[in-house]
Structures are given as structure tokens and as C-alpha cells.
Amino acid sequence: MRKQLLIAAGMLLSASAALAQQPVQPLPKVGGCPLGYYSSGGYCVPSPGGNTRGAIEKSGAGCPLGFYSSGNYCLSSPSNEREAIQKTGKSCPLGWYSSGGYCVKSR
């Protein structure tokens, strides 16, 4: 029974790892920092505490699906389990779909 529980827990963890979320990492500073980040030199750095959401620099007027605007950045919504990058050119790489000026990773 214990072995079955360990196997089930491992399968659950590997399935959740497949869902890519926007990385929480330092961002180049463009104006003020987004919610949950603080200024450090030329960067916006995630605030300590673990409540900070992943962000990307805003490209144009809007944010990709699953993100909301925070100054010059787009923050991942709490329920968003997808990663986004700025679109280069007219199309997105294989496994990503277009959302405005961004490419969002498909599930």
C-alpha cells in the first residue's frame, strides 16, 4: 500500500511539473517595477516572501492571455499555468501560440 502511494505521489508531481509557469526572476527595469518586485540597480527583483508572480516586459498596449498589466510589465494571473515570451517576427515557435505581441506556451 505504501509503495502504491509513493508511486501515485510521484506521478502527480511529474504531471504538475509539466505545467510551465512564468519564471519569477529579475527583470530589466523599465520605469517603475511591477507589483511584487523592488528596484535594485537597473533591475526589478522579486520581493522575498514567495507571493511574487512571474512577469514579462509589456510589448505594446496589452498583455497575453493569462496575464494582467502592472505598469510597464505583464504579471501572470494567480490561476495562470502558462509561460509567455515576447513575439519576434510574425509567428511563434513550435509548441507556442500567438496572443497579441506574445507567444504563449501550449499545454
3-state secondary structure the chain: CHHHHHHHHHHHHHHHHCCCCCCCCCEECCCCCCCCEEEECCEEEECCCCCCCCEEECCCCCCCCCEEEECCEEEECCCCCCCEEECCCCCCCCCEEEECCEEEECC
Give the model's pLDDT for residue 19: 54
**64 lies in some domain:** yes
**52 lies in some domain:** yes
**56 lies in some domain:** yes
Per-residue pLDDT tens listing for the chain (107 residues): 444 433 343 433 333 344 579 999 999 999 999 999 999 999 999 999 878 999 999 988 899 999 999 999 999 999 999 999 999 999 999 999 999 999 999 87
**7 lies in some domain:** no
**71 lies in some domain:** yes
**30 lies in some domain:** yes
> What total number of domains does the chain contain?
1
**101 lies in some domain:** no
Question: Which residues constitute the domain of residue 35?
Answer: 19-82
Give the model's pLDDT for residue 58: 94
**99 lies in some domain:** no
